[in-house]
A and B are shown apart, each in its own frame.
Chain A
Amino acid sequence: MKQTITFNLNGEPVEVEIEPHLTLLQLLRDKLEMTGTKEGCGMGECGACTVLLDGKAINSCIFPALEVEGRNVTTIEGIMDSQGNLHPIQKSFIEHGAIQCGFCTPGMILSAKALLDENPNPSEEEIRNGIAGNLCRCTGYLQIIQAIKTVREQT
């Protein structure tokens, strides 16, 4: 039995009819064609599917889509400014070579954003903890940590 939900996606209201067993990741990618959010392990371990729910990082691959009713979801597509400029974290990732294959990047950037929004001046230890739920298999952690540190210093 399909159900209708309304929620806020990247600042825009969305109303959509979905099957109740969908995960938030399936809703985003398959129904709304927002494919910036990636599916890695599909079991809540790798963090590739990370999105922000009311500003907090969650794994969308194991999150029931119906639970976003009335709430705010932010994906990688939604963090540019209104002129279409990349977010400072995105720019910093590019500048520091913190991207290789790019598959972990949307999740990594959203975890970094959740961290910096809550704690604008994190220590290296706090940065490491902040991205502990995001696996990168190109071994780019050092560049990623450096990229996040640099955003911290700029703002």
Chain B
Amino acid sequence: MKKFDYLRPKSLEEALTLLNQYRERAKLIAGGTDVIVMIKQKQIAPEVLISLQEIQDLKQMKYNGNLRIGSLVTHRMIEKSELIRKEFTALSDAVEVLGSIQIRNVGTIGGNICTAAPSADTVPPLLVLGAQVQLKSLKGERVLPLDQLFLGPGETAIEQGEILTEIFIPKPLPHTGSAYWKHQRRKALDLPILGVAVMLSLDRSNVTCSDLICTSSPISTVLHALEGEEVVCKEVRIALGVAAPTPIRAVKAENLLRGKRLSDELLWEVAEMAAKEAQPRDTIRGEAWYRREMIRVFVKRMAMRCIERVLRPEETIFPERLW
């Protein structure tokens, strides 16, 4: 591996000063599960790595209805958080299937964002949860909605001299459920062929037909029953990974659903629209036509999983049932 110097600043100010001093000769490192691999694969060759591991403030999670996650919080800490499982479920779904335990013990949420891979598992969930990121530099700080951060594969709007310090997730509306599906060939240690995240907020969670979810009735039956009770989708976000050069929101699909009464027919239209909006390509992991087809399938399934989580939040319903 190419040699580099390794600096371990004790504070954010010190890190920002070093970053300003070395500029493009330096690369920031959090857990290193991407950075060290990129150096070994000769994709990057920084003279200096500036480690953020000594900056304890970046390792905190704070919750007061809204959630603030320090950029150095590991995937494993998120996986173990009961609060995140309950309130921000799509993010839990993602970190449970990200890498291996060894990777999750070390890799960080900030690192996953900054690597800006189209396949980053935490990004579609963060997009549907409405996340914003805080960027600090010697000049000051700014907050950017996450959907404005990604410019291309490996490219972000983070400027020279800036450090991503915190991810902010607003308190979800009442009656909200979220879910992420990582479509992959193996159950562990794979990159996704496709990532699909959905967040749905309903107008209420008291419906008489909620027992139907616990039966083996097909999706369409459940949806017909919900339609009869006029359950309305108050808010919706849909995000896709590996479906374009960056993780994307399927905004047109969202617009079809927002404010409307839930129905089987409408969810199919929404899923079709998400598949149309995506710009997947042929890669070694999957061809574009297949990805499009799977977007259609999984947007609908994840919407159903959100509904299930709103209507029966305390239960695990047919763990093997793929909505």
Contacts and interface: CB of A to CB of B under 8 A. Distances in A.
Nearest to B53: A67
Contacts of A122: none
A64 B100 contact: no
Contact of A59 (B3, B5, B49, B102): B102
A130 B32 contact: no
Contacts of A64: 6, 29, 32, 36, 49, 51
Given A43-B40, A114-B101, A130-B101, A63 B32 contact: yes
Contacts of B5: 1, 20-21
Query: At the interface, is chain B mostly helix, strand, loop or mixed?
Result: loop
B114 to A, nearest CB: 17
B103 interface: yes
A132 B4 contact: no
Given A58-B102, A63-B106, A133-B100, A21 B188 contact: no
A132 B51 CA distance: 28
A95 B99 CA distance: 31
B276 interface: no
A15 B189 CA distance: 35
Interface stretch (A6-14, A44-52, A96-104, A146-154): A44-52
B188 A133 contact: yes
B105 interface: yes
A57 interface: yes
B102 A47 contact: yes
A74 to B, nearest CB: 13
Nearest to B186: A132
A144 interface: no
B32 A133 contact: no
Given A42-B40, A44-B33, A132-B187, A66 B8 contact: yes
Contacts of B4: 20-21
A67 B106 CA distance: 11
Interface string A56-73: 111100111011010000
Question: Contact size class for B?
Answer: 20 to 34
A105 interface: no
Interface in B1-48: 1-6, 8, 29, 32-33, 36-37, 40-41
A111 interface: yes
A43 B37 contact: yes
Interface in A90-116: 111, 114
A66 B6 contact: yes
Nearest to B2: A21
A57 B1 contact: no
A117 interface: no
Contacts of B37: 43-44, 62
Interface of B: 1-6, 8, 29, 32-33, 36-37, 40-41, 49, 51, 53, 76, 99-103, 105-106, 187-189
12 contacts: A1-B5, A21-B3, A21-B4, A43-B40, A58-B106, A63-B36, A64-B29, A67-B32, A132-B100, A132-B101, A132-B187, A133-B100
6 A-B pairs with least C-beta separation: A133-B100, A132-B188, A20-B6, A62-B36, A59-B102, A56-B105
Given A1-B5, A132-B100, A132-B189, 19 more contacts: A20-B4, A20-B5, A21-B2, A43-B40, A44-B36, A58-B102, A58-B105, A59-B100, A59-B102, A64-B6, A64-B32, A64-B36, A69-B8, A114-B101, A129-B188, A133-B100, A133-B103, A133-B188, A133-B189
